[in-house]
Structure 1
Amino acid sequence: MPGQPAQNRMAAIDGLRAIAVLMVVAFHYLGRWPNDYTGLSIEPMFQFGWLGVDLFFVISGYCIAMTASRAGSLATFWGRRFGRIYPAYIGGVVLTFVLVSSFGLPGKEVSAVQAAGNLVFLNAVLFPPVDGVYWSLIVELKFYFIYGLLLCVSRQPTIILGGMAGLFVLGLGLRLVGIDHFDRIIRPEHIILFLIGAALFFAHAQKSVAQQRPFYLLAGGAFFASFATGVYDAVLPYAAVTLLAGIVVIATRRLPVLSALWPIGLVSYSWYLLHQNIGLLIIRALTDAGFADALAVAGAVTGTFILSVMLYFVFENRTIRKKANQLFEKIFSLLKLNRLANQSA
């Protein structure tokens, strides 16, 4: 809101990240895997928790548009986005691989060669992932490239958002006629979420309520369009509440009471990278040792969260981010990926 310090304005979004990662953690510990795998005896719950990933995509759409608005070249834009996710990703891959290889996790072990392939994202096309949650990073990377290409056409919000909407309609239309090859580029249920976030950023970037209104209307329209993909059919009420709450929080940049969760939001990316396989290791070990379900899950939450805080301070600190941004910007510059469309284009 006007006059709010930037830190306070982002606290609500960090709180929203916290809610998203808590949803995903709850899903993976209590709803995703059968009891004969985890060793837990409680009934599966939080099967809708995977919607936290979709909430992350909406937030990413907002942050990606923000990064692009401050970038003077394509190399700078891609450099900052890669620099944001890659250092912690390296740490997450290595730590998860070492722990899973050392203690064993049936069905989830990979070879050292396959783990090395994960470091350069070959898990997108060739190797199994060190941790299954990495699929969402592949979606992020695809969107970075798509958004960058749109920036080369125009930097006008209406053109960028129109391009995203066009990709959504194209992808959904091809799927409805039985052609799903477009899904390999980016799935329509993902592009629409990034569009919602980007539209909300462009609304905030406008100076008057009249100028903001079309972008808020677009975000609202995209919210309804997201249900046309069919992915939410089994969890429709939960999806509606989750996405609508995300839109309201980002639009107002207010999260009453729960804004206090912002410290969890700060480490949410690192926690997301580490929580699943390492958490399953802990849960299986504690249930095998005879610990109660609640203690086993609490041990996984506590253990992976502590590791995520460590990963955050080692790989997501300001110095590492800055160096990573500069490194990737140089790489993209060497590839002659420098130009963007003029601001007026």
Structure 2
Amino acid sequence: MSVVVDRPTQQLRTVPVHRHRPPLRPERPRLYAVDGIRLLAALMVAVHHYAGSWRVDRPGNAVWGRPVSEVMPTVFRFAAYGWIGVEIFFVISGFVICMSCWGRGPRQFFVSRVIRLYPAYWFAIVFTTAVVVALPGVWERLSARDILLNFTMLQSGSGVDSVDGVYWTLWSELRFYLLFLAVVATGLTYRKVVVFCCAWGAAAMLAPAAHFAPLTLAANPEGAWFFIAGLALYLMHRFGQDLLLWGILAMAWLMGQRQLGLRIDDFEHVSGWRGSVVAFTGFLLVMVAIALGATDRLRWKWLATAGSLTYPLYLLHYVAGTTLINRLQGTMDARLLVATVIAGFLALSWLVHRYVERPAARVLKRGLEGAFGRVRGA
């Protein structure tokens, strides 16, 4: 994802440009470090689901048959915090979406999101359903009509279960895209993105307090502050740091640590608040370093390939992977089994990226651009 930087506008005598927006920084190369962090976050989530969640730590669970903390006590202590990879995804998504949309219109934004999200997602639905049908006993298969609705990616908004539980994050992503589309339609600038961050943050705070369900649904208070952190970090990267951006990032951290605690209380019962905050804070500091140029010299091109595996790996690993572990546990050391399953899904993710995502993206892009051309002509 190369960074495209606008040329500085010629300064006028009457209204200096710097009063409207900070000066642009010189153009920078692709941020390979972000690709690496994306893959690391996906691996954290996978290890958590296999060896660190409360679901696999219950007696008689369907994956290991006994608490995973007894099977792999040392791995469990670290894997219990792997769920934070989801919040890392949200921050990176805010950063990358803002970067990729700069200088583009709503049509380009819409097309880019469709071709990026749907091909691997459709494959994952078919693949996961096939695994559940072929290897029953761990997960229940949804009804045909619910599986079909999953292809829209809107099942969470319709009160329908997902084929794979990890798809819940896509519902947060879609709401972020819908909100950010309004800013993209007007043309992204430093001021507009800052205003958007402040307005979205205010809505995420006020809507739940007012018990206003429609605004709460749109504002997505569970994920809003993580996306906002990513937006602020990208503005730092593009325009340089200032006190306002540091203030937005600090507010995102403060609100984010609260959301981490709520998630532990409601879902992730095996990890502690302090450890999760330390891990999340460390990640944010790494992202600050990336935004301010500390990793610009990193040129490991294999990280770009690694980053491309992240989305398919995330979509494919959970239901299918825990089903395989159920069938294979006892045949080898548990730690080796987890590593083998993850390696297998990394290989499958590369195949999906190479032979599903890329060809399907080209076809969808041509079709959608042709359709939008007809709309303009009409």
**TM-score scaled by structure 2?**
0.76
Question: What SS does the corresponding residue of 2:121 show, helix, strand or coil?
Answer: helix
Question: What SS does the corresponding residue of 1:205 show, helix, strand or coil?
Answer: helix
Asked if residue 309 in structure 1 is aligned to residue 346 in structure 2, the reply is no
Match of 1:85 among 105, 117, 128: 117
Q: For 1:134-165, what per-residue CA distance to the aligned partner results, in whole angstroms no more than 9, with x for missing partners?
A: 11111111111110112335532222331232
Question: What SS does the corresponding residue of 1:14 show, helix, strand or coil?
Answer: helix
Match of 1:141 in 2: 174
Q: 1:205 to 1:100 in 2, by over 3 A?
A: same
User: Which amino acid in 2 is paired with 1:81?
Assistant: R
Q: For 1:68-102, what per-residue CA distance to the aligned partner results, in whole angstroms no more than 9, with x for missing partners?
A: 2131x312111111211111111111111111111
Match of 1:322 in 2: 362
User: Which amino acid in 1 is paired with 2:321?
Assistant: G
Identity over the aligned pairs, expressed in percent?
24
Match of 1:70 in 2: 103
CA distance in 2, matches of 1:320, 1:246: 32
CA distance in 1, matches of 2:98, 2:27: 21
Match of 1:279 among 309, 313, 321: 321
Asked if residue 37 in structure 1 is aligned to residue 59 in structure 2, the reply is no
Q: 1:102 to 1:183 in 2, by over 3 A?
A: farther
Match of 1:267 in 2: 309
Contact preservation (8 Å) 2:226, 2:256: no
Give RMSD over aligned pairs.
Answer: 3.0
Deviation at 1:266, TM superposition (A): 2.3
Question: What SS does the corresponding residue of 1:188 show, helix, strand or coil?
Answer: coil
CA distance in 2, matches of 1:5, 1:239: 26
Question: What SS does the corresponding residue of 2:72 show, helix, strand or coil?
Answer: coil
User: Which amino acid in 2 is paired with 1:123?
Assistant: Q
Match of 2:12 in 1: none
Match of 1:171 in 2: 204
CA distance in 2, matches of 1:62, 1:219: 14
Contact preservation (8 Å) 2:120, 2:357: yes
Contact preservation (8 Å) 2:48, 2:83: yes
Match of 1:342 in 2: none
Larger radius of gyration: 2
Q: 1:201 to 1:119 in 2, by over 3 A?
A: same
**TM-score scaled by structure 1?**
0.83
Question: What SS does the corresponding residue of 2:188 show, helix, strand or coil?
Answer: coil
Match of 1:221 in 2: 250
Q: Any stretches of 5+ residues in structure 2 without a counterpart?
A: 4-24, 263-272
**Farther-moved stretch of structure 1 (174-183 vs 240-249):** 174-183
